[in-house]
Amino acid sequence: MSAVRVAILCVLFGAIAASCVVPGAAESPNPTPRASALPAPPSSAAAVGAGTSEPIVAAVQDLLPSVVTVINKLPNGQPQSSGSGFIVDASRGYIVTNNHVVENVRDNGAGAAFDVVFSDNRKLDAKLVGRDPLTDLAVLQVSAQNLKAATLGDSDAVPVGSTVVAIGSPLGEFQNTVTSGIVSAKGRRVAESATIFLEDLVQTDAAINEGNSGGPLIWAATHQVIGVNTLVASNASGLGFAISSNTVRQIADELIKNGRVVRGFIGVQYTQLSARQAAQLGLPTGTTGIIVTQVVPGSPAAQAGIRVNDIITKVNDQVIDPQHPLQSLMVKFRPGDKVKLTLIRDGREQSVDVTLGQPQG
């Protein structure tokens, strides 16, 4: 700006300007600093919580080395799709992820159908240890040193409203993406498919997208994993679900020990009771359950006296209906467990105790 123009501006604004300095005019070599009405900005370290004092930052720094991207490999070794996972046992290299991340992959003959990529960009072969479709969980294993395991917390202990962090690889491209939110609710039950209902889910508004599946949901206050990110409502925002860590602990332990989850066996074949059948049988409106079509000889059901045409309506007082099918209600029971079955026989309700057995075959 020329000196002339500056001078004109001084004239125009002279009523409100105490002075106007024209370029080239003498200036004080040490101008008096102006006092600010606002506090000085904090140092950069203080602004971000000194790197570790901010709960989310500290949780991410602690857990990121435990999180992996899971890449499915085709028989020719080319990548097919990806998800997320996290280490639960550093000494033995066990990694938890979702069943739906790994279910369509077959062993390529060398025992390693997956690559896992760590936050430091290490890539390792991984093999499938076991998977459980009914809880949508799976365990992989890598052979490596200097791994860091995440800690599985108690999902029952985390209060609703607690700050949580999700880490994963959304869309298969954005590795180690961090999102945050709160625990919106606990104990949710959501249909994953027409026949599989996932139980005891942690609901969160932390952003979860395709590729986040299998990654950890972390309680920021404790740095503990309280869920495995699994589902998101497609017709709503801020509505994601994670399999609770208490479920993960039980299922992962069985997969590591046995390669599969062995559930209690009743020993019946059945069909769903329809509203029309219930009406024809003179049952009260709204009665739901299953109709026994076959009892396996020598099975727990046979030993308990269950008969063909019995209508089983409840398991341990939990109603059997389309939202709570028998298969889903039996997920948590193991051989040797005793369950109470409520049934209708010849129009009369009764209950029987059944000690579950090992699956046959």
Pairing of strands 197-204, 240-244: antiparallel
Pairing of strands 94-97, 114-118: unpaired
Q: How far apart are alpha carbons 314 and 282 in whole angstroms?
A: 18
136 as an active site residue: the answer is yes
Active-site position among 66, 82, 84, 100: 100
Q: How far apart are alpha carbons 290 and 199 in whole angstroms?
A: 20
81 as an active site residue: the answer is no
CA distances from 109 to 70, 74, 128 (A): 19, 11, 12
What CA dihedral angle connects 43, 46, 52 and 53, to 10 degrees?
170
**What DSSP state is assigned to residue 299?**
S
Q: Which residues contact 336 (CB under 8 A, 6 or more apart)?
A: 264, 355, 356
Q: Among candidates 170, 164, 175, which has minimal Cα distance to 245?
A: 164
324 as an active site residue: the answer is no
Active-site position among 115, 125, 132, 136: 136
Question: Contact, 243 vs 137, CB < 8 A?
Answer: yes
Half-sphere exposure of 305 (CA within 13 A, CB side): 10
Active-site position among 66, 84, 184, 213: 213
CA distances from 145 to 90, 150, 215 (A): 8, 15, 21
Q: How far apart are alpha carbons 95 and 68 in whole angstroms?
A: 9
**What DSSP state is assigned to residue 230?**
E
Report the amino acid identity of residue 204: T
Q: Among candidates 300, 295, 299, 273, which has minimal Cα distance to 286?
A: 273
Q: Which residues contact 125 (CB under 8 A, 6 or more apart)?
A: 112, 114, 115, 142
Any idea which residues carry the catalytic annotation?
100, 136, 213
